[in-house]
Every structure is written in structure tokens, then in C-alpha cells.
Amino acid sequence: MLLRLSARSIRRSSSSSSFSSSLPYLFASASPFCTAPPMAINHPKDEAYLSSVIPKRIKLFEEIQVNQLEYLRALPHDPIKITLPDGTVKDGRKWETTPMDIAGQISKGLATSALISEVNDALWDMTRPLEGDCKLQLFKFDSDKGRDTLWHSSAHILGQALEQEYGCQLCIGPCTTRGEGFFYDAFYGNLGLNDDHFPKIEAGAAKAAKEAQPFERIEVTKDQALEMFSDNNFKVEIINELPADKTITVYRCGPLVDLCRGPHIPNTSFVKAFKCLRASSAYWRASKDRESLQRVYGISYPDQKQLKKYLQFLEEAKKYDHRLLGQKQELFFCHPLSPGSWFFLPLGTRVYNKLMDFIKEQYWKRGYTEVITPNMYNMNLWETSGHAANYKENMFTFDIEKQEFGLKPMNCPGHCLMFQHRVRSYRELPIRLADFGVLHRNEASGALSGLTRVRRFQQDDAHIFCKEDQVTEEVKGVLEFIDYVYKVFGFTYELKLSTRPEKYLGDSETWDKAEKDLKVALDAFGKPWLLNPGDGAFYGPKIDITVSDAMNRKFQCATLQLDFQLPDRFKLEYAAEDEAKIERPVMIHRAVLGSVERMFAILLEHYKGKWPFWLSPRQAIVCPISKKSEIYALQVKERIHQAGYYVDADISDRKIDKKVREAQLAQYNYILVVGETEAATGQVSVRLRDSAAHLVKSIDDLLEDFKAKTAEYQ
């Protein structure tokens, strides 16, 4: 049985077994320098690379694999109990029974569709033997975990096709952060990839899928990894950053041997549909001072039907790209003299301010206090907060009078200074500080993408300082705030609790308590939530909120993070009820919109350019039928303007049908036609944006409609 499992039996684990590892995704590592320049690469295909480097890796992989299999063969295969989500208990053997075996016992269909399993809340390869009594859950493509695993594995298939076709040096290859496919970065020398290269890449991926290559896993020492990847300086750089005693995981599918945390799908045949989407340039480590890479984006599915549906969706979505709509509606633009920092035109500024006013109104109702904090700070502040060590490469820094300063990428350290500036009492808590301050993050130029990835932005950022016994209620209050706002926008959303990552500040006991507090608050909120192990911020666990828009696309917007670390690092204190006792507050980071820019883009696409009345920059336009009614049209416009609504008047000499049609195309919510009859009666003929029907109303009744729609966020 063990020999039949081959290398599939050595899989990633978060348990304490001899070969288990808690290695973080190597794709997410960061390093300030490379050990050596990349080796020269010839194109279109480096035969020497393919004939020497790849066979060497495979030989080393197989040698290590044999030794590890022999070790497992000698272990006792004691009976174990496997508990399924419905409470059913299956019998198995330690180091022998796999999740795939259990899936086969349940049904043949499940065994051919389950992509990944979860063992005691840790993701686990379907073909990896279980190591003891456990809880087991199986996931297909219709789950986030199954989908992300298929796309992660597809990135390896893409990497294999790229390496085989071009002999390139592979760098990193994760799922995309937006949850739509995957990409792989690689170094190709002077070659620039484009759509013309995609057929060959897709043919390579199809070949790999047809061969049903198993995803095999081994664990190696640092020295073994350095030997295995000695011909790829990007991988060497990653490996050199790891501690000497760190167990490193390596996966193989067919000729591809790659550093990877895993886990993966059982074999490449599960990827039935594969498509390259686009290619772009990228920098290694997202630094303009590093090597220029080529990034290929892809998408994959377990059947062709889903791929076809997705490609049709992409064509539809292109019509509503916020960059296209923003230009068409004269909302915003970007200039090459300030990349990643957008200009909001008068109409775009109306929407931007409406979003902030909406949140400010909720602040007033929910007990938040607005503050204003500086835009730049001495780097000593960021050293205290920990951002200098963990985030500096994403900051804009500069010297002033021989001292280093940085533009703020977030507001939290400044809010700590505000809490700290005088003695605090328990009677003041909770303190909810809200700040729309301008933030700057040094995103790589290749990563910039419309309003969704920028360098200059504002957040509806707030920090709550509270007592430990107030955490549950405060977190619940934030979740209710988020729920209210997203219902107004028409979003559905998912909640995930992201727990302690590999690199974190503080001690494990504090983290355990913070995670427990968030679990209690989520349960009290009463909506379903999922566990997302290891994806917390470096300073604390968080609740991630993923919204789905009208086109069922997922976005990360709101965030809620519990932080015991910053109050400790800044020595924040308040006087407890026992006045002789000093306590440390808990800090809750939260944003509802997230970046206002990003939410602007999401809403523009979500509404397909058709803004609801309350948020619209073009709420009404008055169209006189002839010159005789122009004066009345301007009087109507002024009346609506004085009532506080955005209104224009079309007093051109065009025919009324053309005026109405252009107003509809410009997405005015209300088109108010006036002629001599309306002027004589003090009324307007009302047409709605998406309707040919019209009715006559008095100005007072019309303004009552406007007032009701605004109050109800319609």
C-alpha cells in the first residue's frame, strides 16, 4: 500500500510529524537583494537548460523521495478513526489511508471530483496518508478551497509549459489576489511575451493535463534545496532567506520541480480547461531596481463549459470597465506625471464626496469621532510600530535635515500617538477615532491598475481603543456597520477569520486570545463565517470581508483587525476602575469602504455606470422643448439646485428627442421636459433614465421624490 502511494504520500502538514512543515507560501517572501545576476537565457528555447538543469532537479528529487518513502514504510500502520463533517466515522490506517481512499468509500463521483481535503482544519493533499485520528472534510471546485487549489496547481502547469517552451527561470506563481485564476512570473532575458505566444503555452499545458501527472511532494533541507535550484538565482534568493533548520517543501508534476508550500490537486488531469489571459511585465520583489520579469496570467476550470462561460463574462465585463466608464462619464483620469495618483474631475468628486458623506453620517450615528493627522512622520515612528521592519519597501521615504521621514501608508501609528498624548481613563473607552487622511503606498508600476491599485488614496479608516471585555461588542458593532453599508450598495459578502501567519509580532498566547475574541464576536454576529488559517496581519488576526457585486465578482474591501501589538509597542495605557491599576487597551483596526478609490471603481462597475439617484453625479437635467420655455427651464434648475441636488439644463437648439436621448446616454436619473404647458402650470414632465414612459409632476412633488430616494439610498 505504501509503495503504491509513491511520492504522493509525502504531503504538507501543519501537525508535528517528522516530515510536517509550516512553511509559508514561498511566493510571498521578500528580500532586499539577489545573490547573483540571472544566468543568460537563449530564445526561443534554451535546449541546454532543458537537457541539463531539469534532469538534474528530477534526479535529486527522486533520490530524496526514495529515502523518505523508505522511512515511511518502516513506520507502524496503526488503526485510526476519521470523522466526517456529518459525524460519520470511518476506519483507516496511520501512514496508509488517504483522503482519496475515504472519498472512494463515500462515492465514485466524489473520488473523481474532490480536489483537496482539510485535516484538523489544515489543508491536505487528497493522496497524502493520514497521520492519526482526525477530522476530515473534502472540497470540490464549487468551494473556495477547491477552486483556489485548482488554480494554484494550474500555476504549476503554466510554469511547466513556460519552462519547457522557453527554458526561462521561474520566479513565483500564486493564485491572483482577486480570486480569478493565477499567474507565473519568470525571467526570459530580452524576450517580451504577448498574445502570439499563448497557443504554444496552452498546448504545453494541455499536454501536461493529458498525461495526468501526479503532484508529488518531498521535504528537503536548506542545503538540498540550494543544490536542487542552484541554476535559478531567484529560487536561491528565496531559499537563502529561510532559517538553516527550516524544512522546505518541493513539489513535482512531470518535468517541473518547484519550491512550493502546496497543497495541490491529485494530478494534472483535473484541469480540463486552461486559457492564457494576458501577459505583462513585472519586477522581481516588486522593486523597480530589480530584474524585469514577464508575468503570464491564466484561468482554468474542471470542464470546458465553465471556461466558455467565464470568457463570455470577461467580454461582457469589458463593457463596464471602470476606466472606460470613468472616461466616458468624465469622472476621473490619470496623468503620466503622477502615476498611480488619480485626478477626480468635478463629476467624479461628487461621487467621491457622497461616499465619504455617507460614511460620516454613519459615524455620527455610531459614536465615531473624526480626527485629522499628519501625512508624514519621522521613521522613528515606523520603527516603533514595526512597519519599518515589515513594510518599509512599500513606503515613500525621503530625507529632511539629515533625518529620514516617510509618507504614511496607514493611519494607525498616528492614532496611537493621539491616544497617547494625554492620560486616559477607563471611563473614556471605547474611543473610536476615524480618519480620512491621504495615504501613500509605493506600489510597483506594473502592479498599478486603474482605481483598484493606486499609490495615493483615502480610506474610511478608523481605530477603536477599548477594554478587553469590550472587544466582542465592538467587533459585533463593526460587523453590523459593514452589513448595513453593503446592503445599501446591493452587495452580498462572505466572512473569513484569518489567523496567525508565519511571521508575526508578539507571543502565541496573546494571539490565541485575540483569535478567540474574534470567534466569539463572529458567532454573536450570527452570520456564517469560514476559517482562513495563517493569513492574518503580522500584528494581529483579522476578519476579511469578501464582497460579490452584480456580476458575481469577488472583491476584498472592508477589513477588521484585532491588535494587541501596537498598544504594547507604543506603551498605550489607561487608568482602570481601580485607580492604582494601569491597563493596556486593545486596538481594533477597521475600514468599511476600504480605499474610497477602490470602492468607487467597484461601484461604477457594479452599477454598470447607472448610478442610483442618491449617489449619482448627474441626478437631473431640465430639457426645454423650445426657446419659449428656456427661462422656465432655468428657473426649475435653480429651484432643484437650491434644494441640494445635482441638476443641469440643456438649452441648446437641438430637438427635444435628441436632448432626451443624449440625457439618457449620459445616465441622468431624471430627465425633466418642460414646454409652454408646464411653464403655465408650474410643473415638469418627468422621464426616468431607463423608461420611455413619462408623467407630469409639480416641482414640490418632484423634490419630495428626490428627498425620499436620498433618504432611502435609492
Which residue of the set 65, 160, 213, 459 is catalytic? 459
Q: Which of 12-21, 199-208, 461-470, 524-533 has the lowest mean pLDDT?
A: 12-21
Please report the pLDDT score of residue 339 as a whole number.
Answer: 92
**What spatial distance separates the first Cα and last Cα of the chain, rounded to whole Å?**
63
Would 291 be classed as within a structural domain?
yes
Q: Find cell 461628487 and name the residue.
A: 350
Identify the domain boundary among 606, 641, 673: 606
Which cell numbers hold the place of 21?
A: 512543515
Residues 619, 595 within the same domain? no
Distance CA 558, CA 440 (A): 18
Q: Are residues 191 and 208 in the same domain?
A: yes
The pLDDT, as a whole number, for residue 177 is: 58
User: Is there a single domain that holds both residue 555 and residue 622?
Assistant: no
DSSP assignment of 372-434, as one string?
---SEEEHHHHHHHTHHHHTGGGS-EEEETTEEEEE-S-SHHHHHHHHHTS--BGGG-SEEEE
Q: Which of 309, 338, 372 is the last residue of a domain?
A: 309
- Residues 578-632 have pLDDT tens digits of 877 899 999 999 999 999 999 999 999 999 999 999 999 999 999 999 999 999 9
Does residue 509 sit within a domain?
Answer: yes
Residue 189 has a CB neighbour count (10 Å cut-off) of 17
For residues 532 and 568, membership in a common domain is answered with: yes
Report helix, strand or coil for 309. helix
Same domain, 598 and 619: no
In the set 542, 687, 689, 697, the catalytic residue is 542
Q: Is 463 an active-site residue? A: yes
The predicted model gives 621-649 an average pLDDT of 96
Domain with 498, as residue range(s), is 324-606
Who contacts 587 (Cβ-Cβ below 8 Å, separation ≥6)?
412, 416, 463, 464, 465, 562, 563, 564, 566, 567, 572
Q: Which of 12, 235, 463, 697 is catalytic?
A: 463
* Residue 127 counted as domain residue: no
Q: Are residues 453 and 330 in the same domain?
A: yes
Residue 668 has pLDDT above 70, yes or no: yes
- Please state whether the predicted TM-score (pTM) of the whole model is above 0.75: yes
CATH number assigned to the domain comprising residue 161 = 3.30.980.10
**Shared-domain flag, residues 426 and 523:** yes
Whose grid coordinates read 513539489? 251
Interaxial angle between packed helices 471-489 and 346-366, expressed in degrees from 0 to 180 and rounded to the nearest 10: 140
pLDDT digits 0-9 by tens, 551-563:
777 888 888 998 8
Low-confidence winner among 164-168, 367-371, 556-560, 581-585 (lowest mean pLDDT): 556-560
30 pLDDT more than 70: no
**Whether residue 202 sits in one domain with residue 69:** yes
- pLDDT greater than 90 at residue 11: no
Cβ of 569: how many Cβ atoms within 10 Å?
17
Whether 412 is catalytic is: yes
Q: How many CB atoms lie under 10 A from the CB of residue 574?
A: 21
Q: Where does a domain end: 546, 577, 606?
A: 606
pLDDT digits (tens, 9 = 90+) for 232-287: 999 999 999 887 777 899 999 999 999 998 899 999 999 999 999 999 888 888 77
377 and 264 in a common domain: no
pLDDT at residue 45 above 50? yes
Catalytic residue among 134, 168, 260, 412: 412
Give the CA distances from residue 91 to residues 2, 94, 128, 133, in Å, rounded to whole numbers and listed in that order.
17, 10, 16, 9
Closest CA to 592 of 465, 464, 505: 464
Does residue 107 belong to any structural domain of this protein?
no
Q: Are residues 363 and 501 in the same domain?
A: yes
pLDDT tens profile 86-144: 999 999 999 999 999 999 999 999 999 999 999 998 899 999 999 999 999 999 999 98
| Banded pLDDT at 179 (limits 50, 70, 90) | low
DSSP reduced 3-state for 108: helix
Cell of 222: 536548506
Domain of residue 695, CATH code: 3.40.50.800
Which three three-digit cell numbers place residue 44?
Answer: 526561443
Going by C-alpha positions, the residue among 569, 617, 108 that lies closest to residue 346 is 617
Q: Catalytic: which of 57, 432, 589, 598?
A: 589
- Total tally of structural domains belonging to the chain: 3
Q: Cell 418642460 sits at which residue?
A: 674
DSSP for 583-622, written as a single string: EPPEEEEEEEEEEHHHHHHHHHHHTTT---GGG-S--EEE
Q: What is the CATH number of the domain that holds 450?
A: 3.30.930.10
Higher pLDDT among residues 670 and 388, named by residue: 670
pLDDT digits (tens, 9 = 90+) for 49-65: 777 889 999 999 999 99
pLDDT of residue 625: 95
| Predicted pLDDT of residue 38 | 54
Residue 16 lies in a domain: yes
3-state per-residue secondary structure call for 655-710: CHHHHHHHHHHCCCCEEEEECHHHHHHCEEEEEECCCCCEEEEEHHHHHHHHHHHH
459 carries an active-site annotation = yes
Q: Is 606 marked active-site?
A: no
Are the CB atoms for 614 and 625 separated by under 8 Å?
Answer: no
CB 493, CB 548: distance < 8 Å: yes
- Catalytic pick from 441, 598, 659, 687? 441
Position 693 scores a pLDDT of 81
Kindly state whether residue 133 falls inside one of the protein's structural domains.
no
State the chain's mean pLDDT as an integer.
88
Tally the residues of the chain: 714
Residue 82 lies in a domain: no
Judge whether 224 counts as a catalytic residue.
Answer: no
Residues 199 and 290 in one domain: yes
Question: 178 falls in which pLDDT band (50, 70, 90)?
Answer: low
Same domain, 214 and 362: no
Is the confidence at residue 335, as pLDDT, over 90?
Answer: yes
117 located within any domain:
no
Q: Pick the catalytic residue from 46, 148, 435, 461.
A: 461
